[in-house]
Amino acid sequence: MYTAKGTLDLNAQLRKYTPLVHKLAHHMMVKLPASVEVDDLIQVGMMGLSEALSRFEPSQGVQFETFASQRIRGAMLDELREGDWMSRSLRKQQKDIERAVQRLEQRLQRVPRESEIATELNLPLADYQELLGRVRGTQLVYLEDLAGQADGEDHFLDRYLPGGAEVDPELLLTGQRMREALVDAIEKLPEREQYVMSMYYEHDMNLKEIAAVLGVTESRVCQLHSQSIARLRARLREH
C-alpha cells in the first residue's frame, strides 16, 4: 500500500495489521491476571507494530507478519515487566496451588480432582476457582526456578539443563529431556484440560473460541488453563 507519491502508506499498513495486534493481545491475556486490561496491551502492541513497520527490511528474508509479531509481543512483555503485573502475593498463591497438587499426587497416586485441590488448600471450591482466575497460569519455567528459592527450596528443573548450558528458560524448554517430560505430563492431565492446552497452544485459539467448543464461559477456560499449568509444574518437579 503506497501513497500517490510512491511512499509506503503507514496508516494503511497500521490498519491492515491491527487485527494481528488484537489477536496477540487476546492470546496473551489468558496468561495474565484479571487486573491487566486487554486495551492496554493493544495500545502497547500498536506501538510495537509501528516500530516494526519502520524497521522492517524485506532483504532480511523474513515475512513481515513474523517480524511484526516478535516486535508486538516484545513491546507487550516489556510493558508488563515494567508494571510488575504479577504481585508477590499472587506468585505465592500460584506456588501454593502447585505444592497442593504435588502433595495430592504423591498421596493419592493419581491426578487429583479440582474439589480435592480446593480441600487441600482449605478453600471452598468456588473460592479456589476464583483464585485460579486471579493467578492465571503464566509460564512453565522462570529464571527464579533455576536459581533456587529464597525460602530454601532446591533448584527447580535444573536437572533438565544440559551440562554447561546457560540458565535460559527458553533454551530449557527446547531441550529433548524437557520436551519428553512435558509430553508425558500433558498426557496425564484430565481430558478437558488436555483439550484446553491443545486448543490454546497447538491450534492458537483464544479464550472465547475455546469456551465455545467446550460449552463453558471464558472465565472457566482461564481457570482450567491455570490449573493445567499448576499440574504440569508440579509434575515436572518430580519427573
Evaluate if residue 182 carries a pLDDT over 90.
no
pLDDT, average across residues 202-228: 88
Question: What distances in angstroms separate CA 68 from CA 47, 61, 71, 74, one per listed residue?
Answer: 11, 13, 5, 10
CA-derived radius of gyration, the chain: 20
pTM: 0.59
- 186, three cell numbers: 500433558
How confident is the model over 129-171, as pLDDT tens digits?
Answer: 999 988 866 556 554 444 444 444 544 455 555 554 444 444 5
What domains does the chain contain, in order, with CATH numbers?
A: 10-83 (1.10.1740.10), 88-238 (1.20.140)
Which of 167-174's residues contact partners 24+ apart within 8 Å by CB, and which partners?
A: 167/143, 169/139, 169/140, 169/141, 169/142, 169/143, 169/145, 172/141, 172/146, 173/140, 173/141
Q: Give 151: exposed, middle or buried? Use CB within 10 Å, 0-12, 13-18, 19+.
A: exposed
DSSP code of residue 8: B
Question: What distances in angstroms separate CA 6 from CA 2, 17, 53, 54, 55, one per listed residue?
Answer: 5, 20, 16, 16, 18
How confident is the model over 3-25, as pLDDT tens digits?
Answer: 444 445 677 888 888 999 998 88
Mean pLDDT of the chain: 77
